[in-house]
Structure 1
């Protein structure tokens, strides 16, 4: 079995508790767009998060239109403009309220001090949102600029998770094989993306409420996780399980 050399972190709700904040801003914008087109439907952040976590704003809007059979027309250029507007609003919320996931700061510090692994971020969010998140909580010191990958900005053709494209791209740039990497993901789409790229994936459920954790644990395993942790204090044990070849 290949030696693990590289750890690939999702960002939102894996490194930082950003999803609730992001979807609050997202829902506000979605509702404004629908109102401007005389559509009476309205969504909460929690509703959008449940169905569309891990997807780009553009893909989410296309999915909403298809799912609810909305009649309006919206061009790709308009969607790109709205996605930029959403990023602006989300970043404002992140800079005001963002906090790290429980236990991750100590774990990153330990990994940095040990120097045994390359650390990378592989996210579906826009690059400037990732950078704002890492900067807000002081995590930018753990990740080199050229080891941060965005499904929105790093690919020639932006492709959201669960498509594995952003992971495949990260492997190519980092010059790593799937077998020497481990990914950490908290969402169905993220786990599927990493697994489809051939990367063994640790599921993280610590970002969910207690009553949701068991359900998410089952979901993440079904989507391809080889092991699941509820808290970052269990990361080293999970990593050792993968490295030993037990999973």
Structure 2
């Protein structure tokens, strides 16, 4: 029986990707580096630290990673605060409330920084629904490395066999599967460049999920 649902944040709970994209590309311009769309897409699921570490391997960048992180965070925060139309993704608030009301433990495992997670959770009043908020900045390697999900599962009230992950990115799904956790791929309009084929189940809208359906999805797969 599923007792814990582990949520990614960007692209699953809220779409802050346009804000991240704006911040990154503004900073790329400042650094005078030409980051292609293909390269930028490959960073999906990376922490900001790992993104800049990778960029320093490819480009000549004099600034330290910590300075790069702080500059990107400043650009992001300024844009975040001014973006009035930032909303939770359609249907996810109802799903979160339904799972919580039925006694499901909810854990966040996001590559986002603690500061960004806190800004999102405070803005949308989500703290009461989640027992733990896990940030990718606490791990040396980003998704697809499984460390963040291994840690999230260790915080669960149940074994990882009774956990599921909801992810929208290729790297996130790879990380969940590498951690040995059942994974639901969310195929949103923001996931067009992502390969969800390794997910155990793929959904196109959160109205396809509720407490009972979460239990039934895994039960059906176990019987196959």
Q: What TM-score do you get using the length of structure 1 for normalisation?
A: 0.79
CA distance in 2, matches of 1:238, 1:89: 38
Q: CA deviation at 1:51?
A: 2.5
Greater RCO, 1 or 2 (C-alpha within 8 Å, sep 6+): 2
Determine the structure 2 residue equivalent to 1:193. Answer: 175
Q: Return the structure number with greater helix share.
A: 1
Within 5 Å, give how 1:60-99 maps onto structure 2.
Answer: 60-66=51-57, 69-70=58-59, 72=60, 74=62, 78-97=64-83, 98-99=86-87
Could you say which residue in structure 2 is the equivalent of 1:20?
Answer: 18
1:58-90 CA-to-partner distances (Å, cap 9, x unmatched) read 322343454xx53x2547xx1122112212322
Distance 2:223 2:40 in 1: 33
Matched, 1:233 2:207: yes
Corresponding position of 1:53: 44
Q: Deviations over 1:180-235 (max 9, x none)?
A: 100000001100111100000000012427xx3xx74xx211xx200001111012
RMSD: 2.3
* Other structure's SS at 1:28 match: helix
Query: Aligned residues, how many?
Result: 219
Q: Offset of 1:243 from its aligned partner?
A: 3.5
TM-score, scaled relative to structure 2:
0.87
Matches within 5 A, 1:169-208: 169-174=151-156, 176-208=158-190
Structure 2 residue runs without a partner (length 5+):
none
Counterparts in 2 of 1:141-156, with a 5 A limit?
Answer: 141-144=128-131, 147-153=132-138, 155=139
